Amino acid sequence: MKTQTKSKKVNKAWLHDHVNDTYVRLAKKDGYRARAAYKLKEIDETFQLIRPGQVVVDLGACPGAWSQYLRRRFAPKVAGVGGAASGELDGTIIALDMLDFEPIDGVTFIQGDFGDDAVLQQLEAALAGRPVDLVVSDMAPNLSGIASTDAARIENLVELAVDFAARHLKRDGALVAKVFHGAAHDPLVQLFRDTFRVVKPVKPKASRDKSSETFLVGMGLKTR
């Protein structure tokens, strides 16, 4: 008699949990590309970060759920259930990721590595000198399973996001960045405290309970 391997059991359990996940179902109903949209939605509703007319940079944007949410916030009269994200856009959204994704009306997309100077120059060219109201970063490295290596990779990505925010945000602007509990967590919290006047950690309800991810929200630059 054949028996299931451990990996098959794990995959089957994950698929069962995924299909029955409340936020997966909501994303399908509301037309979002991923359940991650509800993480940004909760953060936005908690801190009132997103308003029409802003300039927003979306880092680690693939598959585009955060950009979709931003798009809807900038066109609230025409956005809604069923994936409606069209109509006149009151605001600017620039999305960046190493992977490509299906275009979103009105969103400028740059494909490339955020750590690459040439890609950063493309992003800065797209801004055309405009100060940024909000940077949102859902960037995450490919994890190796080696704690010290993974901590360094996570720390590097968040440091890049903080550096970009410090140079391009308006004085009262904000940064939302994904971090993970582990060796890199405390140093990154300190980096945020050194950079922003107000720092708030948040774990949205849409983050899976088993996930070590959390988000840091930094509001108001300490210096220019």
Residue 113 assigned as binding residue: yes
Distance, in Å, from the CA atom of 219 to the CA atom of 136, rounded to the nearest integer, reads 12
28 φ/ψ sector (left φ>0, alpha ψ -120 to 50, else beta): alpha
Q: Are 119 and 113 in contact (CB under 8 A)?
A: yes
Give CA separation, 161 vs 57, 82, 193, 195, 202, in Å.
Answer: 10, 32, 14, 12, 18
Selecting among 178, 200, 205, 222, the annotated active-site residue is 178
Sequence length of the chain is 224
178 is catalytic: yes
173 is in an annotated binding site: no
Closest listed residue to residue 217, CA positions, set 30, 47, 41, 70: 47
> Would the annotation count 97 as a binding residue?
yes
Q: According to the annotation, is 87 in a ligand binding site?
A: no
Residues contacting residue 106 through CB under 8 Å, at least 6 positions apart: 71, 74, 89, 93
**Is 145 assigned a ligand-binding role in the annotation?**
no
What separation in angstroms does the CA of 119 have from each of 15, 79, 97, 137?
Answer: 36, 31, 10, 16
Would the CA dihedral through 204, 205, 208, 211 be positive or negative?
positive
Please state, as a whole number, how many other Cβ atoms lie within 10 Å of the Cβ of residue 88: 9
Residues at the annotated binding site for S-adenosyl-L-methionine?
64, 66, 97, 113, 138
Catalytic residues: 178
Please report, in range form, the residues annotated as the binding site: 64, 66, 97, 113, 138
